[in-house]
């Protein structure tokens, strides 16, 4: 049996006062989950903080969330390995409100 993998579109907003996961944005990869992080967009720091914030918000292990596309862009695709069956609902609740 192969592991289930899901892909989540994310829009990162670096330099925020607080880390926050929620809200929607029509991004490069379609409807995206907005992730505001305090880290600057330098040397992948904002991407790493966003990856960890998404994992925490979705109640996943950080190791299960990886960057699939958009390493140097604000619009990213995160892959979730071993995605739970209700992942789409979790993402929708955060993105749509």
Predicted pLDDT of residue 3 = 59
Q: Are 91 and 33 in contact (CB under 8 A)?
A: yes
95: in domain: no
| Number of domains present in the structure of the chain | 1
Which of the four pLDDT bands, split at 50, 70 and 90, describes residue 62? very high
9: in domain: yes
**DSSP code, position 85:** T
89: in domain: no
38: in domain: yes
Q: Is the pLDDT of residue 2 over 50?
A: no
Predicted pLDDT of residue 1 = 38
Write out pLDDT tens, residues 12-40.
Answer: 999 999 999 999 999 999 999 999 999 99
- Domain containing 73 equals 5-84
Residue 66's CATH number: 3.30.1200.10
Write out pLDDT tens, residues 64-83.
Answer: 999 999 999 999 999 999 88
| Tokens coding 46 | 């904002």
pTM value is 0.92
70: in domain: yes
72: in domain: yes
66: in domain: yes
91: in domain: no
- In degrees rounded to 5, what are phi and psi of residue 9? -80, 135
């Amino acid at each position: 049996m192969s592991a289930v993998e899901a892909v989540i579109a994310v829009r990162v907003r670096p330099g925020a006062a607080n880390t926050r996961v929620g809200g929607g944005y029509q991004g490069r990869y379609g409807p995206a989950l907005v992730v505001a992080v305090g880290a600057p967009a330098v040397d992948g720091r904002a991407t790493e903080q966003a990856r960890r914030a998404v994992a925490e918000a979705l109640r996943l292990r950080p190791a299960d969330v990886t960057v699939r596309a958009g390493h140097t862009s604000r619009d990213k695709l995160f892959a979730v390995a071993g995605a739970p069956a209700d992942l789409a609902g979790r993402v929708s609740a955060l993105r749509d409100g």
